[in-house]
């Protein structure tokens, strides 16, 4: 195959990817995230106002990870990562670790990770699977009460933006799975990909979204069904 260039692939995933694993999506019909308004638990202001509430909220989310498992869509994406001949990046807005548990390696958590905490004093980022309290000591600098969830809240800068922008420069296939397309900058990646000449823009979602019109292909249905089908199609030319 020397001399042939293979298509570069970017996946952007959102809460719909983990929904069938039992992880709640953000924008349910009642507009609440597990009973809370997003601005009460996912902003730096909320954390300043009521750190105990915010810590407890993320403690529950972190604890929930012990009771959920990767689903067919996570596994199919790892199959794609392992067998894709071109460059591959999976950018996820999800803060769960289900992609990693399925075996993902080329994964960028642009909104942070539930199983990490960050010290606002010494800036250390630490793996963390237990509860975090408002008076927990930072194991690195010994300051008390300086640890926070390593989650990108509204108003904060998402992670890996430089890497993502570089990857978007040369993307050939952009695949967007289970995101409502209302939170920027992620919601703007499909337009950027199109502007860079990406010809194949595929959206997988249960329903049309506000950005559906920007895609060249739609797969409507459950990620756990549609993603494995799509992965088989994408890999088919390389299976010969
Ligand atoms: N299969 C496919 N799509 C699904 C499924 C499923 N099983 N279940 C839900 N969806 C779709 C919904 O139709 C919706 O469009 O997934 C999308 C989930 O949207 P949101 O709940 O808004 O989640 P997301 O787009 O990931 O949110 C983006 O917002 O609150 C912030 O930082 C948070 O990363 C999050 C960001």
One digit per residue, the tens of pLDDT, for the chain of length 240 reads 445 689 999 999 999 999 999 998 887 666 667 788 888 899 999 999 999 999 999 999 999 999 999 999 999 999 999 999 999 999 999 999 999 999 999 999 999 999 999 999 999 999 999 999 999 999 999 999 999 999 999 999 999 999 999 999 999 999 999 999 999 999 999 999 999 999 999 999 999 999 999 999 999 999 999 999 999 999 999 986
Asked whether 93 lines ligand 1 (CB < 6 A), one says: yes
Tally Cβ neighbours within 10 Å of residue 21.
20
Could you list the active site residues?
111
What is the distance in A from the centroid of ligand 1 to the CA of 170? 26
* Percent of the residues in the chain that have a pLDDT greater than 70, as a whole number: 96
Q: What is the pLDDT of residues 79-93, one digit of tens each?
A: 999 999 999 999 999
For residue 149 and ligand 1, the question of a CB distance below 6 A is answered with no
Task: Evaluate: CB of 99 within 6 angstroms of ligand 1.
Answer: no
Considering only CA atoms, give the Rg of the chain: 19
For position 31, what pLDDT does the model report?
60
Best residue for ligand 1 mutational test, from 25, 77, 177 (most atoms within 8 Å of Cβ): 25
pTM to 2 decimals? 0.96
| Secondary element (H or E) of residue 10 | strand 9-13
């Amino acid at each position: 195959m020397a001399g042939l260039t293979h298509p570069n692939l970017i996946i952007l995933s959102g809460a719909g990817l983990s929904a069938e694993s039992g992880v709640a999506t953000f924008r349910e019909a009642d507009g609440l995230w597990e009973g809370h308004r997003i601005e009460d638990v996912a902003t730096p202001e909320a954390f300043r106002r009521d750190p105990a509430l915010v810590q407890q909220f993320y403690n529950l989310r972190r604890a929930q990870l012990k009771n959920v498992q990767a689903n067919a869509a996570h596994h199919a994406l790892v199959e794609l990562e392992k067998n894709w001949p071109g460059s591959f990046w999976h950018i996820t807005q999800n803060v769960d670790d289900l992609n990693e548990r399925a075996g993902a390696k080329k994964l960028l958590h642009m909104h942070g990770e539930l199983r990490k905490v960050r010290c606002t004093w010494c800036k250390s980022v630490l793996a963390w699977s237990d509860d975090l309290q408002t008076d927990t000591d930072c194991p690195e600098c010994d300051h008390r009460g300086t640890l926070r969830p390593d989650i990108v809240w509204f108003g904060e800068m998402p992670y890996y933006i430089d890497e993502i922008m570089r990857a978007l420069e040369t993307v050939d296939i952009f695949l967007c799975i289970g995101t409502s397309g209302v939170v920027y900058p992620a919601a703007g990646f499909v337009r950027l990909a199109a502007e860079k000449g990406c010809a194949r823009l595929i959206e997988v979602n249960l329903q049309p979204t506000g950005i559906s019109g920007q895609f060249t292909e739609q797969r409507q249905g459950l990620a756990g069904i549609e993603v494995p089908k799509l992965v088989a199609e994408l890999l088919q030319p390389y299976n010969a």
